[in-house]
């Protein structure tokens, strides 16, 4: 039996799964899976060093990112589409727990300061099991919850003692867009409630060390989509009114059309300089002062290929 098997008790929640806002109550140990199509195992597509997050998150030697398979959203423009699909025919790799821990500790030994859980909303019990196992070995990296923002408040509350940094997307305030592009018309209210819970836990201040590497707090990401500037403006206004303008924002320009969208009437192109400028101007007008904007060419740098052993290296 694995020396870490004690921590697998967290997975018991998956026999009647309500960990994400879909609340399917699926038994993920059975063959009949829930909306996300994720099983009960460690469905992890890649554990690798990533240098492409925001500078304070990547740190000096990169973050050890754990990329979970499948997703509780179905964004048609997903840049990690190779691993996030809900297609049941796509094989779901399940790593054994000892291998997961061994790979993570190997990257920590190589100098990573943090462990990032990417698309964790449907794998929260696994996140807890991994953190408990690492802490039992006196490993205390910074733990980052890198989420699409479609999280249940109750589940986030259960993470309060586990997570150091929340890194949520806030994608939409437009319900129709949320429905058409991600299969979740309730995304605006669900993500806003999630954001408020993360803010309750972490507040506005992003604590950093002497090198400017983040240790505690939250960063809200918003990806500007071509032809949808109104949505971006509403997202920023909502954060300003309902959360705080002191919060750290990462305003992303890296959108690029995935192969399935090359002929899409709106999403078939990258964003225009004028579109991004409008959103940046609004961010400044509202009084946001903390965070990052991106170069428009950044879409050239973020094109992972999860068929490679190192998805972010060419
Ligand atoms: S995590 Fe998956 S199975 Fe569980 S409630 Fe969400 S969509 Fe359903």
Region 282-301 average pLDDT: 85
- Centre of ligand 1 from the C-alpha of residue 215, in Å: 30
Region 96-119 average pLDDT: 96
Region 290-305 average pLDDT: 72
Q: Where are the domains of the chain?
A: 5-300
- Centre of ligand 1 from the C-alpha of residue 140, in Å: 29
- pLDDT value, residue 1: 52
- pLDDT value, residue 5: 78
Whether residue 118 is predicted with pLDDT greater than 60 in this model: the reply is yes
More confident of the two residues 310 and 125? 125
- pLDDT value, residue 201: 98
| Buried residues in 38-60 as b, exposed as e (16+ CB within 10 A) | bbbbbbbbbbbbbeebbebbbbe
Q: Of the segments 1-5, 90-94, 113-117, 293-297, which one has the largest average pLDDT value?
A: 113-117
Closest C-alpha to ligand 1, atom 2 = 36
71-80, 125-134, 209-218, 267-276: which has the minimum mean pLDDT?
Answer: 71-80
- Centre of ligand 1 from the C-alpha of residue 18, in Å: 6
- What is the reported pTM? 0.93
Closest C-alpha to ligand 1, atom 6 = 20
34 lines ligand 1 (CB under 6 A): yes
More confident of the two residues 287 and 83? 287
Region 59-82 average pLDDT: 90
- Centre of ligand 1 from the C-alpha of residue 183, in Å: 14
- pLDDT value, residue 305: 56
Whether residue 312 is predicted with pLDDT greater than 90 in this model: the reply is no
Q: Which helix (H) or strand (E) holds 46?
A: strand 42-50
- pLDDT value, residue 301: 57
- Centre of ligand 1 from the C-alpha of residue 170, in Å: 20
In CATH, the number for domain 5-300 is: 3.20.20.70
- pLDDT value, residue 82: 62
Over the stretch 94-105, which tens digit does the pLDDT of each residue have? 899 999 999 999
Percent of the chain at pLDDT exceeding 70: 89
In degrees and rounded to multiples of 5, residue 151 shows phi and psi of -125, 150
Count of other CB atoms within 10 angstroms of residue 182? 21
- pLDDT value, residue 84: 64
- DSSP assignment of 163-216: -SEEEEB---S-HHHHHHHHS-TTHHHHHHHHHHHHHHHH-S--EE-TTS-EEE
Whether residue 183 is predicted with pLDDT greater than 90 in this model: the reply is yes
19 lines ligand 1 (CB under 6 A): yes
209-216 contacts: CB < 8 A, separation 24 or more? 211/59, 211/60, 212/55, 212/56, 213/56, 213/59, 213/60, 213/113, 214/56, 214/57, 214/59, 214/142, 214/165, 215/142, 215/164, 215/165, 216/142, 216/164, 216/165
122 lines ligand 1 (CB under 6 A): yes
3-7, 31-35, 51-55: which has the minimum mean pLDDT?
Answer: 3-7
141 lines ligand 1 (CB under 6 A): no
Specify the ligand 1 atom closest to the Cα of 38.
Answer: 2
1-5, 180-184, 231-235, 274-278: which has the minimum mean pLDDT?
Answer: 1-5
Contact 67, 83 (CB under 8 A): yes
């Amino acid at each position: 039996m694995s020396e870490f098997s004690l921590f697998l008790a967290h997975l018991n929640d998956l026999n009647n799964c309500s960990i994400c806002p879909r609340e399917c109550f699926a038994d993920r140990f059975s063959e009949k899976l829930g909306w996300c199509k994720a099983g009960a195992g460690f469905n992890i597509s890649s554990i690798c060093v990533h240098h492409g997050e925001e500078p304070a998150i990547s740190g000096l030697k990169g973050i050890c990112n754990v990329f979970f398979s499948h997703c509780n959203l179905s964004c048609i423009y997903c840049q990690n589409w190779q691993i996030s699909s809900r297609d049941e025919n796509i094989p779901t790799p399940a790593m054994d727990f000892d291998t997961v821990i061994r790979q993570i500790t190997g990257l920590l030994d190589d100098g990573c300061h943090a462990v990032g859980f990417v698309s964790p909303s449907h794998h929260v019990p696994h996140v807890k099991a991994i953190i408990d196992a690492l802490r039992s070995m006196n490993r205390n990296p910074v733990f980052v919850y890198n989420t699409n923002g479609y999280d249940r408040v109750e589940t986030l509350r259960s993470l309060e003692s586990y997570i150091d940094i929340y890194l949520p997307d806030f994608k939409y305030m437009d319900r129709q867009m949320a429905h058409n592009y991600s299969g979740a018309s309730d995304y605006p209210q669900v993500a806003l409630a999630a954001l408020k819970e993360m803010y309750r836990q972490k507040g506005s201040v992003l604590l950093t060390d002497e090198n400017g590497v983040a240790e505690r707090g939250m960063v809200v990401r918003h990806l500007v989509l071509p032809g949808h500037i109104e949505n971006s403006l509403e997202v920023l206004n909502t954060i300003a009114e309902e959360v705080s303008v002191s919060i750290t924002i990462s305003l992303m320009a890296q959108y690029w059309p995935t192969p399935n969208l090359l002929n899409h009437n709106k999403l078939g192109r990258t964003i225009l300089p004028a579109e991004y400028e409008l959103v940046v101007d609004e961010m400044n007008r509202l009084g946001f002062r903390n965070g990052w904007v991106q170069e428009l060419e950044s879409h050239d740098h973020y094109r992972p290929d999860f068929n490679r052993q190192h998805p972010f290296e060419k």
